[in-house]
């Protein structure tokens, strides 16, 4: 995994920068390096689009401090290269050396936003707030930025789009101007950062296409300092990936890196495999009130691997009618041996469902809990205790609302923030509190799992939001459960009697793979010969095999 596709908190970024700042041989040496990278990215964007008559200028939005200095030095480099560059100063202070360099290179300083010539700009560089901004844009600036967004000119943000909180990805409250909502942040087409990603890059669509590049002083590189620092601090390890590559709008130089899809493990059966050795998954889902949840979960499990799917629930004949390859029964006691259980989608929350959940938590196999199982977990302390005490892999798969209810039920023991306000800290604390893996579902899905004394987190950007449709979570549960069973079976085949912890790790590896496959399947399901169109959970499940093939390591 490339070092620069890990994400770090702001405190780690600042700590890693300090030795480089101390080693500078001249003022602003590190800032000029960052600005040079910004100028290269800007030139790439400028040369990748056709020039329209009269549309030729670059506009730099300049804030206080280092971010504004980056913008002015980058503007100076562009001006020196022959581009006409304007800069509007919007901070309370200005970086004086950068300002002087900008003017010496031929840049133009504006007293305020241009009134009549917004349509003349080919590119806007956002250097307002960066990682230090947490309160959002000023009202007057937000109004002007909204007008810039209406232009055709792309926006390149430095470090983090201004107004987006770097450690959480949270957007500030919008303003209401003349009865219309005006965002208090920039939405970038491209965001360029240095050394490593910030958490916001894994959490916010406002970042657009994310690029990271290294900067260094003498032999000290920022990326290396971040890697060493993270090994010593308490912050969680966050690895950023995507289900799909960014659209190829620009041909970036090789110095720039981006989060990318990670290849998934091949699932082709070997010559000695049979229906049992590829990982038998059991699905405990559905009820008279929600029969569709069982069908969706089973459908995904069938399409995820070539191995057996067992179903336990009401109306098993309906499951077999839809999927004749499934072995279905009404009672848990009659299910037979499985290698992973998926429990909860549409199953209900009555006493019978609670007893079933308690029984599956006693099973000596991995378990994935979703939907109604999470509601039961929030209601019953003894079930949460059972999760904590399991030596086998246990995975919780909540959306933000389910997560918040579960966290609220645990307030007496641990402070877990709202995942919509601080998702990285929230998922880390829940995974620690219950000593299990957690999948926080969304456009940006976070997967947290224990690795020794700390929590590791993988952030997967689906690349699109086509999975925002009813039942897609049930599809993900069936998909992830089947791949967990596959990993579990493969681990047991390669090691005669692995320890429970070895089984745990092999199952956790399957989670990010499953999320990526789900994201690609959702996108594929929305494609038609005439363009994208509405999709559904059933269609997402249909495209799991094709998505798996696209991502499989070859």
Q: What are the structural domains of the chain? A: 3-242 (3.40.50.10260), 281-551 (3.40.1190.20)
Q: Look-up: residue for tokens 């101007």?
A: 177
Q: What digits encode the pLDDT tens for the residues 41-92? A: 999 999 987 766 656 789 999 998 889 999 999 999 999 999 999 999 998 8
Q: Is 445 annotated as a binding residue?
A: yes
Please state, in angstroms and rounded to a whole number, the distance separating the CA atoms of residues 456 and 529: 41
- 442 is known to lie in a ligand binding site: yes
* Range 52-67 burial, b when 16+ CB lie within 10 A, else e: eeebebbbbbbbbbbb
Residue 3 is predicted with a pLDDT of 60
* Buried/exposed 395-429: b ≥16 CB within 10 Å, e otherwise: bbbbbeebbbebbebbeeeeebbebeebbbbbbbb
Q: For residue 333, what is the DSSP state?
A: G
Higher-scoring residue by pLDDT: 11, 218: 11
Q: Is 443 annotated as a binding residue?
A: yes
**Helix, coil or strand: residue 349:** coil
How many distinct helices (H) and strands (E) make up the chain?
17, 25
* C-alpha pair distances (Å), 285 with each of 213, 346, 365: 46, 6, 17
CA 268 from centre of chain: 28
Which tokens go with 417? 């923030």
Q: Is 474 known as a binding-site position? A: yes
The reply to whether 293 sits in an annotated binding site is: yes
444 is in an annotated binding site: yes
Give residue 2's pLDDT. Answer: 57
Distance CA(216)–CA(176), nearest Å, equals 43
Closest listed residue to residue 94, CA positions, set 113, 66, 74:
66
Alpha-carbon distance of 501 to 547, in angstroms, equals 30
Beta-bridged to residue 108, according to DSSP, are 86
* Sign for the pseudo-dihedral over CA of 284, 289, 291, 297: negative
The model's pLDDT over 297-356, given as tens digits with 9 standing for 90+, comes to 999 999 999 999 999 998 899 999 999 999 999 999 999 999 999 999 999 999 999 999
Which residues are CB-contacts of 74 (< 8 A; sequence separation ≥ 6)?
A: 35, 36, 38, 39, 42, 60, 125, 127, 158
Q: pTM for this structure?
A: 0.94
- At 497 the pLDDT is 47
Interval 496-524: pLDDT, tens? 445 555 568 778 889 999 999 999 999 99
Chain position carrying tokens 């994400």: 7
Strand order in the sheet with 155-158: 108-110, 85-89, 57-62, 121-127, 155-158, 190-194, 209-213
What is the predicted pLDDT for the residue at 131?
83
Q: What are phi and psi of 348, to 5 degrees?
A: 100, 170
Q: Going along 108-265, which residue ranges are E strands? A: 108-110, 121-127, 155-158, 175-177, 180-182, 190-194, 197-198, 209-213, 216-217, 220-221, 237-242
């Amino acid at each position: 995994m490339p070092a620069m596709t890990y994400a770090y908190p702001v405190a780690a970024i600042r700590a890693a920068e300090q030795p480089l700042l101390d080693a500078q041989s001249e003022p602003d040496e590190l800032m000029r390096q960052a600005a040079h990278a910004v100028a290269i990215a800007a030139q790439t964007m400028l040369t990748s689009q056709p020039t329209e008559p009269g549309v030729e200028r670059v506009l730099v939005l300049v804030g206080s401090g280092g971010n504004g200095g980056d913008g002015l030095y980058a503007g100076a480099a562009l001006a020196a290269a022959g581009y006409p560059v304007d800069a509007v100063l919007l901070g309370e202070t200005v970086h004086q050396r950068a300002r002087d360099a900008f003017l010496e290179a031929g840049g133009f300083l504006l007293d305020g936003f241009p009134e009549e010539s917004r349509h003349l700009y080919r590119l806007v560089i956002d250097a307002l707030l960066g990682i230090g901004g947490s309160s959002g844009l000023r009202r007057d600036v937000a109004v002007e930025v909204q007008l810039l967004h209406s232009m055709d000119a792309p926006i390149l943000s430095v470090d983090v789009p201004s107004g987006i909180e770097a450690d959480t990805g949270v957007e500030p409250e919008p303003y209401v101007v003349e009865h219309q909502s005006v965002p208090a942040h920039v939405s970038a087409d491209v965001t360029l950062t240095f050394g490593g990603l910030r958490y916001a890059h894994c959490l916010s669509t406002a970042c657009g296409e994310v690029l990271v590049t290294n900067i260094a002083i003498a032999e000290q590189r920022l990326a290396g300092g971040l890697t060493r620092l993270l090994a010593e601090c308490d912050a969680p390890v966050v690895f950023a990936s995507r289900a799909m590559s960014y659209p190829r709008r620009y041909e970036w130089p090789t110095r720039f890196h981006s989060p990318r899809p990670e290849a998934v493990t091949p699932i082709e059966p070997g010559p000695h495999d049979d229906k049992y050795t590829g990982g038998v998954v059991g699905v405990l889902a559905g009820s008279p009130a929600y029969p569709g949840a069982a069908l969706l979960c089973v459908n995904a499990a069938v399409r995820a691997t070539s191995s057996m799917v067992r179903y336990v629930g009401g109306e098993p004949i309906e499951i077999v009618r839809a999927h004749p390859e499934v072995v279905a029964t009404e009672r848990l006691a009659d299910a037979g041996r499985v290698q992973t259980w998926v429990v909860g989608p549409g199953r209900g929350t009555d006493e019978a469902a609670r007893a079933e959940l308690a029984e599956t938590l006693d099973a000596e196999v991995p378990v994935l809990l979703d939907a109604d199982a999470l509601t039961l977990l929030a209601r019953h302390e003894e079930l949460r205790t059972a999760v904590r005490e399991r030596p086998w892999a246990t995975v919780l798969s909540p959306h933000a609302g389910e997560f918040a209810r579960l966290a609220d039920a645990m307030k007496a023991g641990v402070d877990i923030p709202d995942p919509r306000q601080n998702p990285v800290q929230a998922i880390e604390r829940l995974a620690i509190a219950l000593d299990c893996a957690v999948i926080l579902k969304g456009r940006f899905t976070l997967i947290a799992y224990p690795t020794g004394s700390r929590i590791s987190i993988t952030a997967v950007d689906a690349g699109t939001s086509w999975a925002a449709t009813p039942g897609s979570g049930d599809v993900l549960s069936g998909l992830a459960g089947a791949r967990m069973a596959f990993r579990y079976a493969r681990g047991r085949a390669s090691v005669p009697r692995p320890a429970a912890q070895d089984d745990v790790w092999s199952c956790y590896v399957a989670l990010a793979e499953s999320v990526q496959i789900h994201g690609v399947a959702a996108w594929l399901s929305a494609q038609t010969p005439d363009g994208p169109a509405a999709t559904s959970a059933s269609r997402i499940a249909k495209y799991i095999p094709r998505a798996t093939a696209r991502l499989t390591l070859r």
